[in-house]
Structure 1
Amino acid sequence: MREPAWRKSGKTPDYRFSLANERTFLAWIRTALALLAGAVAIDQLAPNIAPQPVRIVLCVVLSIIGAGLATLAYRRWAQMEAAMRNDQGPALLAGHAAHDHRGGRGGLHLCGIDPGGALNGEARDPGLQPERTTLAWRRTLISLLVVDLFLWRRWLSAKAGAGQISTGIPGLDYQGICALTAAAATIVLGCVVWTRSRQLHHGVEEASAVLMLVSALSIVALGCAAVAAIALGD
């Protein structure tokens, strides 16, 4: 996959802003995973919370919203990166805030950026920004593992013939396909986390748009697997 056209425009932004934007993307992804985890947890651990049709609809809606947030996370990240490259939009306001001693410092601190370093060009961040970003990727992978395990639990604990539809493959039903899809999403995101961690370790601060897109698509795939597993139901 090629990098998008906007990656070739403008200038490379301050790496601290890029990493802050990357961590915001991961926060959106973890929010999506929290919705997916809530959906599969309600479906499996609280079957009597509501009548079955209501419960299924609730869990499916939560899963769809979670998958939608993953796509929104990538779209927002790309918009902010493009804006920073071309000194446009909300990203520019963060740069202007650095000149405001009354309000700018607080806003930049919220992004994990030292305003003193932004103003004076001093090296005030000896590796902490990349380390925080690496940890954010690892937390995201752990969050995905929770959803993955719930989907595997549903498949392995399902009663024979209960809510299962044969695929024609011996030993594998549609619940199994959902579990395997979740496992594939986990492997894909694990590869992204490994690759991005190595990049940050070697000083590559700007994230590849391809890696960000692949990570978002893995969450969408996980959301689809959750919807299918819940809809195939008890």
Structure 2
Amino acid sequence: MVRDPGLQPERTALSWRRTIMSAIIAAILIWRGWLTALTHENSGGSTEGLFSQGYSAHVIGLGICAMVACLTTLTLVVCAVHRIRLLRAGVADLEHEGDIAVSALTLRTGSAAIVALAVAAICAIALGM
């Protein structure tokens, strides 16, 4: 029996692209908030180097949120590329028709990345981004 995927690969690719776009926008907003807080704190006229100056918990917290947002966005991109390639390959190129299903690792990794990005965004908002 030959499987007709129909428009599933295209719909899945579009939904992954929307998810990635949302993650990128959230990450950019968090980074912008961190850079704004960093420049605001550095505007005190200090001539010390960037790494030798002590920063407030606010700036450090926003920096951690920015790094988490960046890592989760990259993780989502890897998950999306993996899933889209698998769907576009089709069943004909796979050894078994069941191989086209989402792997548990991809599903867990993508879900964890979404949750981590949401937590980072909430923490950034709470820190007064």
Pick aligned residue for 1:217 from 109, 112, 119: 112
Q: How many residues align?
A: 107
CA deviation after TM superposition for structure 1 residue 127, in Å? 4.4
Q: Spell out the pairing of 1:25-64 with structure 2 (5 A cutoff).
A: none
Q: TM-score, normalised by structure 2?
A: 0.71
Q: TM-score, normalised by structure 1?
A: 0.41
How many percent identity over aligned positions?
A: 41
Which segments of structure 1 move beyond 4 Å, counting only runs of 4 or more?
none
What letter corresponds to residue 227 of structure 1 in structure 2? I
Q: Which runs of 5+ in 2 are unaligned?
A: 43-54, 91-98
**1:165 maps onto 2:57 in alignment:** yes
Q: Spell out the pairing of 1:84-233 with structure 2 (5 A cutoff).
A: 125=4, 127-158=6-37, 159-160=40-41, 164-165=56-57, 173-203=60-90, 204-233=99-128
CA deviation after TM superposition for structure 1 residue 122, in Å? 8.3
CA deviation after TM superposition for structure 1 residue 192, in Å? 0.2
Instruction: Give 3-state SS (helix, strand or coil) of 2:100's partner.
Output: coil
Q: Which runs of 5+ in 1 are unaligned?
A: 1-120, 167-171
What is the RMSD computed on CA atoms of the aligned residues?
2.5
Distance 1:131 1:233 in 2: 39
Which whole-Å deviations, capped at 9, do the CAs of 1:99-126 have from their partners, x for residues lacking one? xxxxxxxxxxxxxxxxxxxxxx886x46
Distance 2:30 2:123 in 1: 10
Q: Which has the higher contact order (CA 8 A, sep 6+)?
A: 2
